[in-house]
Chains A and B, each alone.
Chain A
């Protein structure tokens, strides 16, 4: 009984961590650009493929047990590459819509997401098949009387660390100040000698790298990855960011935990729950937005008239 509760709790935290990492990217980018980067989920989902590819290409590993070093190296490469792809997505496509109506940027990024998925499907070896993804940690951890599976603990722990680092970066470092300055008012920031384009590049890197980590965790948690997993992950991450309040990091995390919570509860308590978890998650989204139109922690926008 107790272990069952523990298991649900861990499951909730793992899902919450994954969603939070993706949601943070949406929130960061929205705060900065006021644009919804709808392909964020698809960009993030590149990471597991890069990881699989590098495991194979560099270490010749195609499955089975493997050492810690190759996995760590593959994850690092995947995160780096995905971050750079994020910058590329901005430079190639998103940046061209800075001055267009929001709806155009939205559709453009949706199309970009399709491009990314189709590229993986078409050019990754047997890209349309699901691919087994290795666990990043195996076995159990004994903490006092508790015996916890290692991977979930690792996922949650790493996420807490990464999120803390991101907070520190945004609040305490010069680059964080500059990001916030550009988010507040790009024109004024430019007058103060900040180059917005560099800030954009950095933020896209950061958001995509965080999303990449989320996607890697997602893949190893599920044990499998497919070219189109990014759609759902992106939608959930986006929802988390929105119900938390777009532009607010804390909000994104709360939103992620809320959606993961609903999913876990439904899955644990309702027969056939697994198939309805998305229904409940998105009903929560609708309800939340009706009650709090700018999300949990979002600032209501006042138009100066």
Chain B
């Protein structure tokens, strides 16, 4: 068996008294899509924050292709090949759409201050190459975004913001992309396009895997190879969607949620 792309063992974190995530084990194989579902406040985004180094786990380990990355600073983890989007999108609002994508390439470009100051041609060439690639990425994601590439990212509507975040994530040539509720704020057509995009990107980049937090059950039913259910910080189920959704404890987790929402 090949080494898994991502392996979480006993991963957990507590905020004061609150155990937000408790001993989660998870393995992601290369070239796969894993969906994470669970009620609000279950700890899904927290899991992403632990993997990407935003939070330091209080227990457990994270390994990328067998190398431990637990507790590394966020920028080092990003440079190792994990890219992500955020639940409430975090774009560089006042920068152009194109610059947003180019910044995604930071981890694999090299110009430092001295190069920029003393060898401007080299620095410029690197940036121009990035710009050209960023345009290709944008065009692949959406013609609309490409056409507006010199406008500030802050003016984009919700669905486009999600797309741009994905484009920025792709720009780093990651091995693993984490998407936090990518379809929120999208209508049916947008969501269908999103799924098509994800499949196309997978086809274009052999080995690339996705870890996706989703609430839209159509997407969860169609897209992933593997579904993981989290409730109250614990992994309560894992498998393909058809199996997982039959499990009583999963239904309970969601029904509890619905009952609360209806109350």
Contacts and interface: CB of A to CB of B under 8 A. Distances in A.
A and B touch in the complex (CB under 8 A): yes
Interface of A: 302, 305
A305 B51 CA distance: 13
A302 B20 CA distance: 14
Nearest to A302: B15
Interface in B41-90: 45, 48-49, 54, 86-87
Nearest to A303: B54
A302 B45 CA distance: 14
Interface in B84-102: 86-87
The 6 closest A-B pairs by CB, nearest first: A305-B49, A305-B54, A305-B86, A305-B45, A305-B87, A302-B15
Contacts of B15: 302
7 contacts: A302-B15, A305-B45, A305-B48, A305-B49, A305-B54, A305-B86, A305-B87
Interface residues of B, number: 7
A99 to B, nearest CB: 14
Contacts of B48: 305
Contacts of B54: 305
Contacts of B45: 305
Contacts of A305: 45, 48-49, 54, 86-87
B49 to A, nearest CB: 5
A279 to B, nearest CB: 32
B131 to A, nearest CB: 28
Nearest to B15: A302
Interface string B187-208: 0000000000000000000000
A302 B87 CA distance: 16
Interface string B89-122: 0000000000000000000000000000000000
B184 to A, nearest CB: 15
Nearest to B49: A305
A101 to B, nearest CB: 11
Nearest to B180: A305
Contacts of B86: 305
B13 to A, nearest CB: 12
Interface string B152-190: 000000000000000000000000000000000000000
A302 B56 CA distance: 13
Interface in B117-140: none
A302 to B, nearest CB: 8
A305 B86 CA distance: 7
A116 to B, nearest CB: 33
B55 to A, nearest CB: 8
Interface in B21-46: 45
A197 B130 CA distance: 49
Contacts of A302: 15
A302 B48 CA distance: 16
A294 to B, nearest CB: 16
A102 to B, nearest CB: 15
A305 B54 CA distance: 9
A302 B49 CA distance: 13
A70 B48 CA distance: 67
A234 B252 CA distance: 58
A305 B44 CA distance: 11
A222 to B, nearest CB: 46
Nearest to B48: A305
A19 B87 CA distance: 44
A152 B87 CA distance: 57
A61 to B, nearest CB: 57
B90 to A, nearest CB: 8
Interface in B196-250: none
A305 B15 CA distance: 14
A305 B48 CA distance: 10
A302 B15 CA distance: 11
A305 B47 CA distance: 11
A170 B54 CA distance: 36
B19 to A, nearest CB: 16
A305 B20 CA distance: 14
Nearest to B90: A305
A174 to B, nearest CB: 30
Nearest to B87: A305
Nearest to B86: A305
Contacts of B49: 305
Contacts of B87: 305
Nearest to B46: A305
A302 B46 CA distance: 13
A203 to B, nearest CB: 30
B205 to A, nearest CB: 26
